[in-house]
Amino acid sequence: MYSLEGITKSIQDWLFLKFDPTLALAIECVIVILLAISLFAILGLVLVLMERKVAAHIQIRLGPNRVGPGGMFQTVADTLKLIMKEGLTPDNADKFLFNLAPFVVMMVGMLLLAPIAFAKNFQIWDINIGVLYISSVSSLSVIGILMAGWASNNKYSLLGAMRSGAQIVSYELSAGFAVLTIVVFTGSLQISEIVASQQTGWWLFKGHIPALISFVLYIIAVTAETNRAPFDLAEAESELTAGFHTEYSGMRFALFFLAEYINIFIVCAIGATLFLGGWMPLHIGQWESFNHIMDYIPSSVWFMGKTFFLIFLIMWFRWTFPRLRVDQLLNLEWKYLLPISLFNLLLATVIAIFGWHF
């Protein structure tokens, strides 16, 4: 199996050979930060273009097709425009919080990148409480959104922020319970162990009905958590113009925009890791030759393929469904999703205790 493992390992060996351990670690940190930032930039460009192309094909039109071949450099041009634009701060805004908010939202995305396994042995930080870390850090993004809505001194922003607060806090529960189902099956919170446990088959197939239910719940909950349609009440442009980021312009708006796509990538990457085997190739029972061929596909391709499939799913939702109303949104969570996920967790626990899963 091809892997990025060799490259990372040789770099690490070389660094520790040349420098003393502390300095080597510091250099590694810098490399990782640079890599993370460039990943962010690339993801932003790719995902925005992907969203526009997916939307275009769903809406019987072509999408961006002027800048570069097939409109490839459209997002580059858009980014340049946003960088050149003046970032206005409203007169009566709380200037400190107003300027801080986009960075808080962005920082949460960066922190969440740490425990994700991009390929075999290609992971920034294999923390032993990986899943717990992800659930707790991802809740922080609501602070940034509330900050933006409050500091803007705009009534639309405030309404958007309050909606977003109610929404993210509620849907965090379902997402958490869906993730817990897999933790119950695996018996570990560590991302690398969760991936390793799917050597023989992905949890989506191995975990019987509870895994299937929790996968659906997870997709619904994270769509809501990332403020995507049909749960995009926080920005609901027909109701609240642009919701919490109404007053933002230029690069600060771009950071919110980018953070949205980074968050989608991260929740989809986590979904792919937990339910679809992360970087594990698809193996079917006793089909030796099939499994062997699958092994030849690099693990990073598997990981990205699964993640982008989930991203496509979430984009597909956005361009198909109308938006829910705020009370319907909360009803859906507290009256349907939460009881189902609690019951589902119980079921999963019973299955795990008796070892009924494959």
Binding site for other proteins (CB under 8 A): 55, 58-61, 91-92, 155-156, 159, 163, 229-230, 232-233, 236-241, 319-328
- In sign, the C-alpha dihedral spanning 311, 316, 318, 323 is negative
Nearer to other proteins, 16 or 319 (CB): 319
CB of 191 to other proteins, least distance (A): 34
Nearest approach, Cβ of residue 312 and other proteins (Å): 15
CB of 310 to other proteins, least distance (A): 20
Identity of the residue, 121 or 153, whose beta carbon is nearer to other proteins in the bound complex: 153
By beta-carbon proximity to other proteins, the closer residue of 62 and 293 is 62
Nearer to other proteins, 171 or 185 (CB): 171
Q: How far is the CB of 171 from other proteins (least distance, A)?
A: 16
Name the minimum Å distance from CB 237 to other proteins. 5
By beta-carbon proximity to other proteins, the closer residue of 59 and 199 is 59
Please write down the HEC assignment for all residues of the chain.
CCCCHHHHHHHHHHHHHHCCHHHHHHHHHHHHHHHHHHHHHHHHHHHHHHHHHHHHHHCCCCCCCCCCHHHCCHHHHHHHHHHHCCCCCCCCCCHHHHHHHHHHHHHHHHHHHCCCEEECCEECCCCCCHHHHHHHHHCCHHHHHHHHHHHCCCHHHHHHHHHHHHHHHHHHHHHHHHHHHHHHHHCCCCHHHHHHCCCCCCHHHHCHHHHHHHHHHHHHHHHHHCCCCCCCCCCCHHHHCCHHHCCCCHHHHHHHHHHHHHHHHHHHHHHHHHHCCCCCCCCCCCCHHHHHHHHHCCHHHHHHHHHHHHHHHHHHHHCCCCCCCHHHHHHHHHHHHHHHHHHHHHHHHHHHHHCCCC
Of the two residues 53 and 283, which places its CB atom closer to other proteins in the complex?
53
Query: Looking at beta carbons only, is 120 or 163 nearer to other proteins?
Result: 163
Least distance in Å: CB of 226 to other proteins? 15
In the complex, what is the shortest distance from the CB of residue 19 to other proteins, in angstroms, rounded to a whole number? 54
